[in-house]
Amino acid sequence: MRKLVLSILVKDGAGILTRVSGLFARRGYSILSISAGPAEKKGLSRLTVVAQGEPQILEQIEKQVKKLEDIIEIDILDPEKSVFRELVMIKVKADRSKRQAVSAVSDIFRAKIVDVSKDSMIIEITGDSTKVDGFIELLTDFEIIEIVRTGLSAMKRGYKG
């Protein structure tokens, strides 16, 4: 199975995210992540969709998404020519005796401690999936209470005039 990362520029409007995700659901396509937000121009939004499947399925996904109403542009993002990032917050069990160790691991990965309570810490990390997954793997030595991931955000490198 391969992954496909699509950057989709759409007209803002009620239901556009539902139409895109509904297309995947109706056809039985697998969405690994989807993120959405305002684009560089007023009235437009950008969706980043990560799908997984066999090559012929991924080709069909691209064709079907292009047919949707309110789609302005679709780019397939090549990992070699794009920047991929994800924001993740991880809550770990950490009393006073474990805070220093959690902090040391966080420093190595340039993660930020954004909240400390009596018995836990919340750490924020931004990076590509390899970095994030490696950080989570090291935190399994502590008790992970909760993980929240934003999904992939991605952009082509260079000027696209």
Q: Is 155 helix (H, G, I), strand (E, B) or coil?
A: strand
Per-residue model confidence (pLDDT) at position 21:
87
Which class in CATH covers the domain with range 2-76?
Answer: alpha beta
Highest-pLDDT range among 14-18, 44-48, 50-54, 157-161: 44-48
User: pLDDT per residue over 62-77, tens digit each?
Assistant: 888 888 888 999 999 9
Helix 99-108 and helix 129-139, axial crossing angle in degrees, nearest 10: 160
What does DSSP say about strands 153-156 and 2-11: parallel, antiparallel, or unpaired?
unpaired
DSSP character for 81? G
Least confident of 56-65, 82-91, 117-126: 56-65
> Where in the chain are the domains?
2-76, 82-155
Confidence of residue 92 (pLDDT cuts 50, 70, 90): very high
Confidence of residue 96 (pLDDT cuts 50, 70, 90): very high
Confidence of residue 161 (pLDDT cuts 50, 70, 90): low
Span 82-155: which CATH code? 3.30.70.1150
DSSP 109-144: TT-EEEEE-SSEEEEEEEE-HHHHHHHHHHHTTSEE
User: What tokens were used for 85?
Assistant: 């990032």
Per-residue model confidence (pLDDT) at position 55:
85
Per-residue model confidence (pLDDT) at position 65:
87
The whole-number average pLDDT for the span 146-155 is 94
- Tell me how many degrees the CA angle 7-82-157 measures, rounded to the nearest 5: 100
pTM metric for this prediction: 0.83
* Beta bridge mates, 106: none
Give, for 101, the enclosing helix (H) or strand (E): helix 99-108
The whole-number average pLDDT for the span 127-150 is 95
The whole-number average pLDDT for the span 32-47 is 92
